[in-house]
């Protein structure tokens, strides 16, 4: 591999360098990038005449456009130090030797991401498979010895990576907004930056988020997104008119949001769930109290409040309370959680919540959306100082139902 020159990306404060390496050098680590990197999209089906032609052309010496890569952050902070030196000195070329060493170290540690060129990489791996027969060894050797050009980004945050992936994929097979957001909050997949005792369950692990303080990753993303937008509706149902609106959200998040607030928000919600569970005296839904409810929203506190609907509603209402100046920070909201209490029998109060949710679901055209709106009103009853049922875990549910019927039915 050889690095030639570089530029500073002023928009996302990262470094972009141009480089060349042989097909063999690239394919040696590309397999692991595709296989191990959760940020990558799935392979788009590459059947048909155009892909057959490209594979044949590559075998015959075709030069394809540069593939764009990024180096993810390292554990010891060496990359961050190099990027800082480059930006301060306003000169990339004076640091090319250090940059090249850092790229090689990232390759060894599998800290490479494909920002643009995933399908080309799959096609190259297809060529490698085509030429692996013993009688085609000379063709394989020629293919592996040819060079390929790259642009490599260094020093991008997760948000910067997402921003570049979005812009680079404009006009191509689009990345879903859901996938963009999952990249944005990717650190939570691995359990980093999580408050103590909270576990994030990945859907790909085929395990279920059961029990206190266990949440599905997709539900945590909904919590964060609702807080970022102030809207409890799911992001795949929002009126996202165009990719420009999506980009506007991503850009505003990247350059203005307090990243620590996301961790505080999850911790605050988890504190609420733990608190209500502690006060509920081992409540579980008794079908004998409501025999007409065959499928309750949740059979216990964890089953109710680990779902997407209350989590998104909590995020949206916290944003609303902060924006209106009712509270100055998430930590201030967290402090008052301990003051929530049942004024009446907890079992009867939570049975009532289940019956209310069943009534709302029986009338609503879009049950999930209706439940989100209802839970947001319930959190408003609990957390808004002027609300009739402030701090009251017994009567907030009925109070929220009254307001829901006035506003949404």
- Summarised one tens digit per residue, pLDDT across range 349-384 is 999 999 999 999 999 999 999 999 999 999 999 999
Neighbouring C-alpha atoms within 13 Å toward the C-beta of 404: 26
Q: Is 332 helix (H, G, I), strand (E, B) or coil?
A: helix
Largest Cα span, the chain: 82
Helix axes 23-36, 137-145, angle to 10 degrees: 80
Q: How far apart are the first and last CA of the chain?
A: 65
pLDDT (0 to 100) of residue 267: 93
**CB under 8 A, 24+ apart: contacts of 39-46:** 39/113, 39/161, 39/165, 39/183, 39/186, 40/113, 40/114, 40/118, 41/118, 41/175, 41/179, 43/118, 43/119, 43/122, 44/119, 44/173, 46/119, 46/122, 46/123, 46/126
What tokens appear for 270 in the block?
């988890």
CA–CA distance, 369 with 409 (Å, rounded to integer): 13
DSSP 316: H
Question: Is 164 in contact with 156 (CB distance < 8 Å)?
Answer: yes
pTM above 0.85, yes or no: no
Q: What is the residue-level pLDDT of the chain in tens, covering all 409 positions?
A: 999 899 988 877 789 999 999 999 999 999 888 765 455 555 555 555 556 788 888 888 889 999 999 888 776 778 888 888 998 898 898 899 999 999 999 999 888 888 888 888 988 998 999 898 888 999 999 999 999 999 999 987 766 666 676 666 544 455 555 666 666 666 555 555 677 688 887 655 545 667 888 888 888 888 988 887 888 988 654 444 333 344 455 555 443 344 567 788 999 999 999 999 999 999 999 888 777 888 999 999 999 999 999 999 999 999 999 999 999 999 999 999 999 999 999 999 999 999 999 999 999 999 999 999 999 999 999 999 999 999 999 999 999 999 999 998 8
Question: Is 135 in contact with 146 (CB distance < 8 Å)?
Answer: no
| pLDDT tens per residue across span 72-99 | 877 677 888 888 899 889 889 889 999 9
CA–CA distance, 318 with 230 (Å, rounded to integer): 8
Question: Is 33 in contact with 107 (CB distance < 8 Å)?
Answer: no
pLDDT (0 to 100) of residue 148: 94
pLDDT (0 to 100) of residue 241: 34
What tokens appear for 163 in the block?
């921003």
CA–CA distance, 273 with 303 (Å, rounded to integer): 10
pLDDT (0 to 100) of residue 17: 94
CA–CA distance, 261 with 329 (Å, rounded to integer): 9
Distances (CA, A) of 186 to 148, 189, 202, 217, 221: 30, 5, 11, 9, 9
Q: Can you give the C-alpha Rg of the chain in angstroms? A: 26
Distances (CA, A) of 86 to 74, 80, 97, 99, 113: 17, 10, 12, 10, 21
């Amino acid at each position: 591999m050889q690095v030639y020159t570089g530029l500073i990306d002023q928009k996302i404060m990262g470094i972009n360098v141009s480089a060349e390496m042989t097909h063999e050098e690239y394919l040696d680590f590309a397999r692991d990038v595709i296989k191990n990197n959760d940020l990558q999209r799935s392979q788009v089906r590459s059947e048909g005449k155009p892909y057959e032609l490209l594979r044949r052309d590559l075998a015959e010496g075709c030069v394809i456009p540069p593939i764009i890569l990024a180096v993810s952050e390292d554990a010891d902070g060496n990359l961050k130090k190099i990027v800082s030196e480059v930006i301060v000195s306003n000169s990339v070329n004076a640091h090319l030797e250090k940059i090249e060493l850092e790229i090689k170290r990232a390759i060894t540690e599998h800290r490479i991401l494909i920002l643009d060129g995933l399908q080309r990489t799959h096609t190259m791996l297809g060529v490698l498979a085509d030429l692996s027969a013993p009688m085609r060894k000379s063709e394989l050797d020629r293919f592996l010895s040819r060079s390929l050009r790259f642009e490599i980004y260094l020093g991008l945050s997760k948000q910067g990576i997402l921003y570049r992936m979005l812009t680079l994929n404009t006009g191509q097979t689009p990345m879903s907004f859901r996938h963009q957001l999952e990249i944005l909050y990717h650190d939570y997949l691995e359990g980093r930056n999580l408050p103590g005792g909270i576990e994030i369950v990945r859907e790909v692990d085929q395990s279920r988020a059961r029990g206190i303080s266990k949440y599905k990753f997709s539900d945590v993303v909904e919590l964060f997104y609702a807080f970022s937008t102030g809207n409890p509706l799911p992001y795949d149902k929002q009126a996202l008119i165009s990719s420009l609106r999506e980009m506007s959200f991503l850009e505003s998040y990247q350059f203005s949001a307090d990243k620590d607030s996301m961790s505080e928000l999850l911790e605050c919600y988890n504190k609420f769930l733990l608190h209500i569970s502690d006060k509920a005296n081992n409540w579980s839904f008794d079908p004998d109290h409501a025999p007409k409810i065959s499928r309750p929203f949740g059979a216990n506190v964890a089953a109710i409040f680990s779902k997407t609907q209350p989590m998104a509603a909590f995020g949206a209402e916290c944003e609303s309370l902060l924006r209106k100046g009712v509270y100055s920070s998430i930590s201030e909201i967290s402090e008052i959680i301990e003051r929530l209490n049942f004024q009446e029998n907890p079992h009867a109060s939570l049975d009532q919540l289940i019956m209310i949710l069943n009534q709302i679901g029986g009338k609503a055209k879009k049950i999930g959306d209706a439940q989100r709106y209802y839970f947001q009103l319930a959190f408003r009853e609990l957390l808004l100082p002027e609300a009739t049922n402030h701090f009251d875990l017994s009567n907030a549910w009925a109070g929220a139902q009254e307001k829901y019927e006035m506003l949404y039915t």
